[in-house]
Amino acid sequence: MEFSASQIAGILLGEVVGNPETTVNGLAKIEEGTLGALSFLANPKYEEFIYTTGSSVCIVNRSFSPSKPLPSTLTLVLVDDPYACFAKLLDMYSQMTRKQAAIEQPSFISDSAQIGEGLYLGAFAYVGHNVKIGNNVSIYPNAYLGDNVVIGDGSVVHPGACIYNDCVVGKNCIIHAGVVVGADGFGFAPNEEGEFQKVPQIGNVILEDNVEIGSNSTIDRATMGSTIIRKGVKIDNLCQIAHNVEVGKNSAMAAQVGIAGSAKIGENVMIGGQAGIAGHLHIANGTKIVAQSGIPNSVKKADTLMGSPGIPIDDFKKSYFGFRKLPYILKKLQELEQRMKELTKPNE
């Protein structure tokens, strides 16, 4: 699909500098732009590429002032926030390329399932008993929806995702390939013989609206009640959310984060990759946890934590500086110890 610079400016409430009739039919990074591509410049360190880019249209900040001549083929669209505006265009592009409504065969839909308008259901997908699917939902091939699952309007379930029985997915959620929502929590109790007895997991998982779950992440069902992922949460690939966890709205976590059972994560919390959070604790709203940190205790006040166990990042940096000096300090201590021995050695 083709758009002119003036049409793009209209969508973004921007201003055209150059030829308003210049057209684009694709998106590209500014350093890789070619004729007919739309790019954006938000980070000043990439400014050098705008003077050599082959893109036809580039979205820039209203305050942008070229320090060199721009390519004669380049038209600018001036906006308040180039990154946000480009993200808006990407979202529009994604919406336009979504699968059209269709039910491919072979697939299975239970007679008791309730299906909204505009459903795309890929081949080999399974829709169980009493499932409720809203309007304009896309469910890709080999996806599984267990009995009593609810999928809200506009949500997308990518290939191979598995949503166990009784789980609820809100509106405009995105569940990527290989995600498992609602598998049993890790609940076992040793019996008199020391063998592990499975504790039945009879709860469910609730994803509120606008949640996105990255590929191959897992969210376990509650032992009782619900594991809850609040509105707007973003979870990267390969994350593990255990039973009865609650993640507050608009929080985000990078790949390989693990959250143990019954932990309560506040709102607007950011968790770096490979961080681990122990069970049954609370993380305050607005907390930031640096990658590979371990959090064994509750965080009562918002802070940026680093290390294992996680401590305030400034304290960690000071401690790390001291840790790096340990070999030097130990060497000096050994030298002093040897010197003391020599000084205290009896005269022969």
Place of tokens 């598995």: 162
The 3-class SS string of the chain reads: CCEEHHHHHHHHCCEEECCCCCEECEECCHHHCCCCEEEECCCHHHHHHHHCCCCCEEEEECCCCCCCCCCCCCEEEEECCHHHHHHHHHHHHHHHCCCCCEECCCCEECCCCEECCCCEECCCCEECCCCEECCCCEECCCCEECCCCEECCCCEECCCCEECCCCEECCCCEECCCCEEEECCCCEEECCCCCEEECCCCCEEEECCCCEECCCCEEECCCCCEEEECCCCEECCCCEECCCCEECCCCEECCCCEECCCCEECCCCEECCCCEECCCCEECCCCEECCCCEECCCECCCCEEECCCCEEHHHHHHHHHHHHHHHHHHHHHHHHHHHHHHHHCCCC
Number of residues assigned to the chain: 348
d(CA 80, CA 113): 46
Query: Catalytic residue at 243?
Result: yes
Place of tokens 């959310």: 241
Give yes or no for a contact between 203 and 183, defined as CB atoms under 8 angstroms apart: no
d(CA 4, CA 31): 21
Give me the catalytic one of 129, 158, 176, 243.
Answer: 243
What are the tokens at 319?
Answer: 């401690």
DSSP state of 259: E
Place of tokens 């732009």: 33
Kindly list the catalytic residues: 243
